[in-house]
Amino acid sequence: MREQFQEELDGVSATLVQMAGLVKVAMEHATTALLTADLTLAEKVIADDSIIDDMQHELDARTIKLITLQGPVASDLRTLVTSLRMSADLERMGDLAHHISKSARMRYPATAVPPELALTIEDMGRVCVKIIEKVATVLQNRDAERALEVEKDDDEIDALHRKIIQTLLDPNWTHGVETAIDMTLLGRYYERCADHAVSIARRVYFLVTGTYADSDK
């Protein structure tokens, strides 16, 4: 009985890792679609978001069933409740990749990102994907040390976000208000995606150590 329950718990955790993998690919593709005006890729990310949504629904149903049927002890219950929260974070990260892809699609056949911001957006995408990969490892290995690293990676995202705003405010900005609106929202999407990743890392840290990684959240 206990053995079977442990298997089910491991299954929940494995699905979270799998979701993180899909979110990583979605964010990778969304950034490429955005920077290269690749409509096919943008459409793929938009369509595939429902796979992540469905995984969340299926996982949450499974998690709630485990809580109901097994009446788990406190620490297992905490893991299961936390997994409900992490699946919500991952689902939202998928939504943000979906938003980025919609921005690519809206401006097609033009490239949504002007040349002077291409590198910064590329960096944001790259750091965001790195963070999601790290979070997948943190989930897989319940690795508290690696969870702490995610906070530092998030500082990189914040610095890149500030760089976008500075570029928009530069007197040499010639792309007008419409592109500024797009870039403001894109910056926000990447930033929020990283925030959700940090929140997952913090939850794992707490599950493993019983203490909070940081007092500012």
Binding mask 158-177 for a copy of itself (x = CB under 8 A): -------x--xx---x---x
Which is closer to a copy of itself, CB of 38 or CB of 95?
95
Exactly one of 25, 67, 144, 148 binds a copy of itself (CB under 8 A); which one? 67
Nearer to a copy of itself, 39 or 67 (CB): 67
Q: Whole-angstrom Cα distance, residue 129 to residue 135?
A: 10
User: Which of positions 174-203 make contact with a copy of itself (CB under 8 A)?
Assistant: 177-178, 180-181, 184-185, 188
Site for a copy of itself in 16-45 (CB under 8 A): none
Answer yes or no whether residue 57 interacts with a copy of itself by CB under 8 A.
Answer: no
Count the Cβ atoms, other than its own, within 10 Å of residue 106. Answer: 11
Nearer to a copy of itself, 14 or 57 (CB): 57
Q: Tokens 């792309």 map to which residue?
A: 175
The distance of closest approach from Cβ of residue 184 to a copy of itself in the complex, given in angstroms and rounded to an integer, is: 5
Q: CA–CA separation, 118 vs 102, rounded Å?
A: 17
Cβ proximity to a copy of itself, 84 vs 148, nearer residue: 84
Instruction: Among 17, 25, 81, 144, indicate the residue that binds a copy of itself (CB under 8 A).
Output: 81
Q: How many residues make contact with a copy of itself (CB under 8 A)?
A: 22
Determine if 64 is a binding residue for a copy of itself (CB under 8 A): yes
Q: Applying CB under 8 A, does 1 fall inside the site for a copy of itself?
A: no
Chain residues in the site for a copy of itself (CB under 8 A): 64, 67-68, 71, 74, 77-78, 81, 84-85, 88, 165, 168-169, 173, 177-178, 180-181, 184-185, 188
